[in-house]
Amino acid sequence: MVPGSKKRLFNTKSFDQFILTQFIISSIMIRNYIKLTWKVLGRNKFFTFISLFGISLTIGILLVVASLFDNMVNPSYPEENRARSLHLMNLKLEDGQGASWIDDATPYFINDFVSKLETPEAVGMVSKPEKHICLSFVGNNKLKLDLRYANQAFWDIYTFDFIEGGPFQQSNVDNRDLVAVISKKTRDEYFGVNQSAVGKMINTDYDRFRVIGVVEDVAKSQTVTYGDLFVPYTTAKGGLDSKHFLGEYIGILMAARKRDVKKMETEYQALIDRLDIPAPTESWQKNLKIFTSETLTLMESIAINIFWGDQKESAARNLRLLIVIAILLFLLLPALNLVNLNASRIFERSSEVGVRKAFGATPKTLMVQFIVENIILTLIGGLIGLLLAFCILQVVESAEFFQNASLGINYRVFVFGLLLSTFFGVMSGVLPARRMSKLNIVNALNGKIV
Amino acid sequence: MISLQNVEKVYQTTSIETVALDGINLEVQQGEFLSIMGPSGCGKSTLLNIMGLLDEPSAGDVILNGSKITGYSNKQLARFRNQNIGFIFQSYHLINDLKVIDNVELPLLYRNMSRKERYDLSVEALTKVGLKNRIDHFPNQLSGGQRQRVAIARAIVGKPTIILADEPTGNLDSRMGNEIMDILLKLNEEEGTTIVMVTHDESMALKTHRLARLFDGTWVEEKAFQH
């Protein structure tokens, strides 16, 4: 035996005993807190109802906002790779005298320049949404289909779920094959619900396409991947021969890894800096001074859409600021209200505080008791809020903009709700609990809360 | 057991200084039952609060069970009260949301004790005050006398060496008051618990070992009784 090890063994044991004792004390305490909380909540039912109503409503609404935001920001079907992608939008020409021309890119720019970059694993492109609305007739019904022209890499970048068939291949693109991938909704409307569509023809006022694949529907809020009909961009009627840069295609650059996104952006900027810019018109040819083009991260593309015309950095900054202010305001008011409600609920119990202190409760024990009570209250409120949010989201989902979006309460939103409830519990409990736990015992026993 | 040396208590507001206790000296022996009497506002309750470590003296020393209580932190004071002192209040101060048994076990919650131990001790204490059959009742289902008996059970459940009772019979009629007094006397006699009781009722005070009268914060009379 190593000298001194006996002593250490003894110490370890007593340390274990200490931990065990602490654990027993805590579990006894927690059980009693819960027991008491239950009774306290039942004591003043109207009060509890008002508290719970406020908490549930606030948490419910915040969860709805969180779910919508989550749907916008976090990778969801089929844009699971958004974190390692950059969107190429809003290319801009300026004449240096205040006139500018902003548009998306042309296949020429994307194929001949962007695709040559080394960092991107894939460079996809797709025409703007709602740019090509084609008409199709089923019996006497007119279908308006949002047609999207895309290249083959588009299918590599986005993880569409194919119900049947598959995407078009590079050979389809090269051969200008009139083939189409359609959405489930289009299939159901055109061919009949759950009817097989692959191999069948779909007539539109643009062209007659052979269906080669059917994908699950995408929410309309996902502007890059939403569509009723996806066809090779080479079948488009115009714009293919253009040697200009500004056009109607959104470019998508996807890096192999998320950490390469910055590198990809730098490489892209270097490309822009050394480009010889073709001007779209003769008058522009004379005036052309500056060409700028930016790739946008997800946050930036959302921000640019909201703060139209702003620079991407300031737009993203504004959006973040707006979100933070909105959340703070949203949290602050109900939190203050709860502090108030809790203060009166806790102060009512000054005599109990006095008794507990007289019989050996330390200020810390009491403080923990009140905070645990509050957390339990807010967790119950959070649970009701969750149900409320669930119901609201069901309604929101049926709104057109979020059509096909799966806005459910996923684990991220759930964890957010949990954290939110705990935050409320702690925030609204700490102040009154602190004041109460520091109360002079004699005053507390006499019901004085000063 | 209990020793107060030159204890002063002064309440200070911006304009007035009120002397509640003025140089109080007191020795209470182990196993003694002391009653304190005096008119309202003479400082009886303040004295009891200082003895029970619920309030701090402005000057002087408090020595309990041989320990000089000076410079104790809130946590140390709480622990000392929990281990050594039981309180009985005039208005019982039971927690209405808790059952009788839960009220009684309250002091044990702040000790390292299993659920079973707490339950057993609480039942034992309730048996001593004759309320074993009421453990699942709530305080508002009991009479005043019964509530005070629950409060006594709570005070004795942790087997403290000192019990401080602030007008324990003040809210009760004489029959119930006598019942409470009998319990306290028995506790003192059989268990040797030191009891200090503040009372307005001379007939109760006569049953104790010694009576001390307080007036304007100082002792005015002291009588010992032979029973």
Extract the tokens encoding A203: 């007539």
Nearest to A39 among B75, B98, B110 (CB): B98
Residues A48 and A158 in one domain: no
Total tally of structural domains belonging to chain A? 2
Query: Which amino acid would we find at residue A157?
Result: I
B140 touches chain A (CB under 8 A): no
Q: What Cα–Cα distance (Å) separates residue A216 from each residue in A229, A268, B126?
A: 12, 33, 70
Determine the pLDDT at residue B58.
Answer: 93
Residues A59 and A126 in one domain: no
Cβ contacts of A118 within 8 Å, gap of 6 or more: A267
Residues A101 and A66 in one domain: no
The answer to whether the CB atoms of A359 and B97 lie below 8 A apart is no
Residues A281 and A364 in one domain: no
Task: Give φ, ψ of A87 to 5 degrees.
Answer: -95, 135
The conformation of residue A167, written as its DSSP 8-state character, comes to P
Nearest to A21 among B75, B93, B112 (CB): B112
Q: pLDDT tens, B93-138?
A: 999 888 999 999 999 988 888 889 999 999 999 999 999 999 999 9
Three-class SS of residue B217? Answer: coil
- Long-range CB contacts (within 8 A, 24+) of A364-367: A364/A437, A364/B75, A365/A29, A365/B110, A366/A433, A366/A436, A366/A437, A367/A430, A367/A433, A367/A434, A367/A436, A367/A437
Residues A66 and A142 in one domain: no
CB neighbour class for B224 (10 Å; exposed up to 12, middle 13-18, buried from 19): exposed
The answer to whether the CB atoms of A28 and B113 lie below 8 A apart is yes
Domain boundary among A288, A305, A339: A288
Cα distance between residue B24 and residue B37, in whole Å: 14
Residues of B in contact with A42 (CB under 8 A): 97
Instruction: Report if residue A151 sits inside a domain.
Output: yes
Nearest to B78 among A35, A354, A361 (CB): A361
Q: What Cα–Cα distance (Å) separates residue B81 from each residue in A357, B55, B197?
A: 9, 12, 17
Closest CA to B103 of B136, B54, B129, B141: B136
Q: First CA to last CA across chain A, in angstroms?
A: 62
A19 touches chain B (CB under 8 A): no
CATH code for B31-44+74-224? 3.40.50.300
B112 touches chain A (CB under 8 A): yes
B107 touches chain A (CB under 8 A): yes
Residues A281 and A164 in one domain: yes
Determine the pLDDT at residue A4.
Answer: 43
Q: A131 is in which domain, residue-wise?
A: 96-288
The answer to whether the CB atoms of B110 and A358 lie below 8 A apart is no
Instruction: Report if residue A176 sits inside a domain.
Output: yes
Residues A360 and A409 in one domain: yes
A346, A350, A355, A443: best to mutate for the B interface, most B CBs within 10 A: A355
Extract the tokens encoding B108: 């044990």
Residues A269 and A120 in one domain: yes
- B227 min Cα distance to partner chain A (Å): 32
Residues A249 and A136 in one domain: yes
Three-class SS of residue A440? Answer: coil
Determine the pLDDT at residue A450.
Answer: 62
Residues A69 and A104 in one domain: no
Q: pLDDT tens, B12-65?
A: 888 888 899 999 999 999 999 999 999 988 999 999 999 999 999 999 999 998
From first to last of its 450 residues, chain A has per-residue pLDDT tens of 444 444 444 455 566 776 776 666 667 667 777 777 777 777 777 877 887 888 888 888 878 877 777 776 666 788 888 788 888 877 777 776 777 788 888 999 999 999 999 999 999 999 998 889 999 998 888 999 999 999 999 999 999 999 999 999 999 999 999 999 999 999 999 999 999 999 999 999 889 999 999 999 988 877 889 999 999 999 998 778 888 888 899 999 999 998 998 899 889 888 888 877 776 666 665 555 555 565 666 666 677 666 665 666 677 778 778 877 887 787 777 777 777 877 777 778 888 889 999 999 998 888 888 888 888 888 888 889 888 888 888 887 776 566 556 666 677 777 877 787 788 778 778 888 888 888 889 888 887 766
Instruction: Report if residue A90 sits inside a domain.
Output: no
Number of Cβ within 10 Å of residue B216's Cβ equals 14
Instruction: Report if residue A303 sits inside a domain.
Output: no
Instruction: Report if residue A21 sits inside a domain.
Output: no
> How does DSSP assign A245-297, residue by residue?
SEESEEEEEEESSGGGHHHHHHHHHHHHHHPPPPPSSHHHHHH--EEEEEEE-
Whether the Cβ atoms of residue A162 and residue A214 lie closer than 8 Å to each other: yes
Over residues B150-159, the mean pLDDT reads 95
Nearest CA in chain A to B107: A359
B99 touches chain A (CB under 8 A): no
CB neighbour class for A232 (10 Å; exposed up to 12, middle 13-18, buried from 19): buried
Residues A162 and A271 in one domain: yes
Cβ contacts of A318 within 8 Å, gap of 6 or more: A303, A307, A310
Q: Which residue has the higher pLDDT, B8 or A327?
A: B8
Instruction: Report if residue A184 sits inside a domain.
Output: yes
Residues A60 and A206 in one domain: no
Cα distance between residue A251 and residue A301, in whole Å: 12
Whether the Cβ atoms of residue A41 and residue A48 lie closer than 8 Å to each other: yes
The answer to whether the CB atoms of A355 and B98 lie below 8 A apart is no
Instruction: Report if residue A294 sits inside a domain.
Output: no
Instruction: Report if residue A275 sits inside a domain.
Output: yes
Give me the residue spans of the domains in chain B: 31-44+74-224
Q: How far from chain centre, in Å, is Cα B106?
A: 16
